[in-house]
A and B are shown apart, each in its own frame.
Chain A
Amino acid sequence: MGVIDFPKNTVLTFSDEEELFRESVKEFCERYIAPNWIEIDKKAEKSPMEIPLDLIRKMGEQGLFCIPCSEEYGGQGGTYTMATIAIEEVAYADPSVALAVYALLNIGWPFALELFGNEEVCQEIIPQVAKGKAFFGIASTEPQGGSDVAGIKTRAERKGDVYVINGEKTFISGVGEVQKLEWGGGWFTLARTGGEGHRGISAFALLARKNGKLAEGWESTIYEDIGRHGLTTGGFKLTDFEVDSKYLIGEENKGFYHVMEGFNLARIVVASATVGATRWLLEQAVEWFRTRKLFGRSIASFQGVSFKFAELYARWEAARYFVYRASRLADKIYIEKDPLYKPKDLNVPVALAKNYGPETCVDLAEEVMKWYGAYAYTKESPIFRAWLGPFSYVIGAEGAQNIMRLIIARDIIGREYLR
């Protein structure tokens, strides 16, 4: 609606291509997403397997998935900043962030696959994901916890040309989508191939379904989430699940390092999604302030309201800086392959963005609900949907908030002082 325009800026600047791309995504979202997001959220709230397949297909045709993946793998040949722009706009149009999360998973993880996976597997998976015919996300969390990636219990045993995997994954996005999309899909998955600790873990491209055929040894459940219903969450059990060795991503027992780079990439776009949803919330607030009167005066004339708004507006701008600073750095490392920049340089910038974006969004949503009053507490108002969706990222999806703080503190103060 353009109530909140991007402020003129000489630090956070975009190229003509980037601005044109943002406009094109905006136009797509105005046409297909903004008018439908509430309906999608409502429908899937009732039955989680009501997946917006047509829209996913359209987003695929528009080229909103696999944005940084190379064209030879069916990707869009764009940059990570382009991906970040797209996700910001999709989340602005769907502040429940369901569609943004669908897209960002299918940007971050296929790209991580391209970085470490073998060519044949990339050729098999990425084009399908790009077209919106397959899902490819991340499956690392297990029943005993998510933050302790190094402690996973799922085991993969090598038997000749295959790995036989046994274990269980929980709170995994896309469990419904891999079953419903035309081709299928799966996850960047972790399993233990060696001893205890992070040095005994390998990463696999685990396909639960391909070419419309479900794999054997894969049993799933779907959860009922409180928000962002347009994307399914579930769990799955692996019983003697066989994976051809070509699906090993990168080197055996190096999976922990690979997945951490993947997480860094995914977190940038996660933060971007919440920054997009925050812009929508800011607009709801401003529109409300401009028309709502209380005791005969505009409610923004109460400084208790306007100061809080100013503070949250400032946090939105700061979160945007963090997000694009991280995406520009990701471009240096992974797209331009500039030797001056190393993957670990991303740790703190990403943690800042991932820490700041979701918290700003959720804090603002809560305030907007209060400013709106009782109406916001009814399901007539869509604001709670922009609260409960992004809330998943305060809880922990793609890394808990305290893990982000830990990364910042560890890098700045020094690992040895935190023991």
Chain B
Amino acid sequence: MKALLFSETPENFNRLSSMLKKLGLDIHGISFSEVKADYIYLANERLDYPSIVKAFEELGNKLNPDLYVFSSTKLGKEVASRFSQRTGLPCLTECLSVEIDGSSIIATRYSLGGKTLMKIKTDLPAVIAVVADAFEIEDFDFKMEKVDFEIKEADGINVISREEKRREKVGLRNADVVVCFGRGVRRKEDIELIEKLAEKLNAEIGCTRPISHDYRWLPEERMIGLSGEKISPKLLISIGVSGQIQHAVGIMNSKTVIAINNDENAPMKEYSDYYVIADLYSLIPELIKLL
């Protein structure tokens, strides 16, 4: 069986090609840089959906793959959806795992806002957008054949400018200890308190969506949750986090969770091993002293 893969970053590409290889697929992939695949269609960088959809159509017609795969980034999802509508193939986005079952695939994805995990089956050929973070890059014996390929410009939209997001290198995903905070921290200045604690514990700092996206106190790559990082530390200390399900799905794989909250009944309790009811402003300084 054959997969046609696209991802705008080599890292996501390689995670997904490893995942697909494990399923026993031959991997044809469009990439802007050197990546791991059986057939690498090294292409000029184009990030507008009309061109990528067109390229997929063209290559798809030639290769007749069983599975069209994108990383479940915003670009990946928009291309997957439009391509699927054009071709009439079924499409699943935000997939957390994929398996092949005869002439079908079975994918899992969150449903009901993260309250449930849905297992869903559809016939091949199909289009999927997969959360690349869920997979590790592994060493497989890829054929690594390079094919020159051009993504031709297609009509649709006119990109005027593009501004890279400044992305810090954040080691949240592989951290042993994570300190995560939410809206219980009232002012931007108070982050210092969190930083001191993190320093003592040699921990990475993470946050909930309002902190990174609404207040912009921390860069987006520190956001933990459904649309951000998914972490699996030995210890998570969660401070002033109410525990909305969209956040909780990002911490499910933590080994031990300590939550500190002044609301004795925040949903966060359900996701904690130790639920500390206290005012973070009086507790954290004391905690720092004792560590």
Please report A residues at the B interface, Cβ cutoff 8 Å: 1, 283-284, 287-288, 291, 375, 380-381
In the complex, what distance in Å separates the CA atom of A375 from the CA atom of B265? Answer: 13
Evaluate contact between A291 and B262: CB separation under 8 angstroms: no
Decide if B235 is an interface residue (CB 8 Å cutoff): no
Evaluate contact between B277 and A291: CB separation under 8 angstroms: no
Chain A residues with Cβ below 8 Å from B275 are 291
Evaluate contact between B277 and A1: CB separation under 8 angstroms: no
In the complex, what distance in Å separates the CA atom of A345 from the CA atom of B265? Answer: 42
Contact of B277 among A283, A284, A375 (CB under 8 A): A375
Evaluate contact between B262 and A380: CB separation under 8 angstroms: yes
Chain B residues with Cβ below 8 Å from A375 are 264, 277
Decide if B269 is an interface residue (CB 8 Å cutoff): yes
Q: Label chain B's interface by main secondary structure.
A: loop
Give the Cβ gap from B49 to chain A, nearest Cβ, in Å. Answer: 34
Write out, one digit per residue, whether chain B residues 55-75 have a CB within 8 A of any chain A CB (1) or not (0): 000000000000000000000
Give the Cβ gap from A313 to chain B, nearest Cβ, in Å. Answer: 17
Evaluate contact between A284 and B265: CB separation under 8 angstroms: yes
Write out, one digit per residue, whether chain B residues 260-272 have a CB within 8 A of any chain A CB (1) or not (0): 0010110101000
Give the Cβ gap from B214 to chain A, nearest Cβ, in Å. Answer: 12
Evaluate contact between A288 and B265: CB separation under 8 angstroms: yes
Give the Cβ gap from B174 to chain A, nearest Cβ, in Å. Answer: 32
Evaluate contact between B265 and A381: CB separation under 8 angstroms: no
In the complex, what distance in Å separates the CA atom of A207 from the CA atom of B264? Answer: 44
With CB as the reference atom, state the residue of chain A lying closest to B270: A291
In the complex, what distance in Å separates the CA atom of A291 from the CA atom of B265? Answer: 9
In the complex, what distance in Å separates the CA atom of A347 from the CA atom of B267? Answer: 43
With CB as the reference atom, state the residue of chain A lying closest to B263: A382
Chain B residues with Cβ below 8 Å from A1 are 265, 267
With CB as the reference atom, state the residue of chain A lying closest to B269: A291
In the complex, what distance in Å separates the CA atom of A381 from the CA atom of B277? Answer: 9
Give the Cβ gap from B43 to chain A, nearest Cβ, in Å. Answer: 47
Task: Answer whether A380 and B269 are a contact pair too, CB < 8 Å, given A287-B264, A288-B264.
Answer: no
Chain B residues with Cβ below 8 Å from A291 are 269, 275
Give the Cβ gap from B277 to chain A, nearest Cβ, in Å. Answer: 7
Give the Cβ gap from B267 to chain A, nearest Cβ, in Å. Answer: 8
Give the Cβ gap from A378 to chain B, nearest Cβ, in Å. Answer: 10
Please report B residues at the A interface, Cβ cutoff 8 Å: 262, 264-265, 267, 269, 275, 277-279
Chain B residues with Cβ below 8 Å from A380 are 262, 277-279
In the complex, what distance in Å separates the CA atom of A26 from the CA atom of B275? Answer: 28
19 contacts between A and B (CB under 8 A): A1-B265, A1-B267, A283-B265, A284-B264, A284-B265, A287-B264, A287-B265, A287-B269, A288-B264, A288-B265, A291-B269, A291-B275, A375-B264, A375-B277, A380-B262, A380-B277, A380-B278, A380-B279, A381-B264
With CB as the reference atom, state the residue of chain A lying closest to B272: A291
In the complex, what distance in Å separates the CA atom of A287 from the CA atom of B264? Answer: 9
Chain B residues with Cβ below 8 Å from A381 are 264
In the complex, what distance in Å separates the CA atom of A291 from the CA atom of B277? Answer: 13
In the complex, what distance in Å separates the CA atom of A287 from the CA atom of B267? Answer: 10
In the A-B complex, list the 5 residue pairs whose CB atoms are closest, starting with the nearest.
A287-B265, A291-B269, A284-B265, A380-B279, A380-B262
With CB as the reference atom, state the residue of chain A lying closest to B186: A39
Give the Cβ gap from B13 to chain A, nearest Cβ, in Å. Answer: 42
With CB as the reference atom, state the residue of chain A lying closest to B279: A380
Give the Cβ gap from A178 to chain B, nearest Cβ, in Å. Answer: 32
Chain A residues with Cβ below 8 Å from B267 are 1
Chain A residues with Cβ below 8 Å from B277 are 375, 380
Chain A residues with Cβ below 8 Å from B264 are 284, 287-288, 375, 381
In the complex, what distance in Å separates the CA atom of A127 from the CA atom of B98? Answer: 61
In the complex, what distance in Å separates the CA atom of A66 from the CA atom of B267? Answer: 36
Give the Cβ gap from B254 to chain A, nearest Cβ, in Å. Answer: 19
Chain A residues with Cβ below 8 Å from B269 are 287, 291
With CB as the reference atom, state the residue of chain B lying closest to A35: B183
- List 5 additional A-B contacts (Cβ < 8 Å) besides A1-B267, A381-B264: A284-B264, A287-B265, A288-B265, A291-B269, A291-B275
In the complex, what distance in Å separates the CA atom of A114 from the CA atom of B190? Answer: 50
Give the Cβ gap from B166 to chain A, nearest Cβ, in Å. Answer: 31
With CB as the reference atom, state the residue of chain A lying closest to B183: A35
With CB as the reference atom, state the residue of chain B lying closest to A38: B262
Chain B residues with Cβ below 8 Å from A287 are 264-265, 269
In the complex, what distance in Å separates the CA atom of A375 from the CA atom of B278? Answer: 11
Chain A residues with Cβ below 8 Å from B278 are 380
In the complex, what distance in Å separates the CA atom of A284 from the CA atom of B264? Answer: 8
With CB as the reference atom, state the residue of chain B lying closest to A283: B265
Give the Cβ gap from A3 to chain B, nearest Cβ, in Å. Answer: 8
In the complex, what distance in Å separates the CA atom of A283 from the CA atom of B277? Answer: 17
Give the Cβ gap from B247 to chain A, nearest Cβ, in Å. Answer: 16
In the complex, what distance in Å separates the CA atom of A1 from the CA atom of B262? Answer: 16
In the complex, what distance in Å separates the CA atom of A109 from the CA atom of B243? Answer: 41
With CB as the reference atom, state the residue of chain A lying closest to B267: A1
In the complex, what distance in Å separates the CA atom of A283 from the CA atom of B267? Answer: 12
Give the Cβ gap from A108 to chain B, nearest Cβ, in Å. Answer: 32
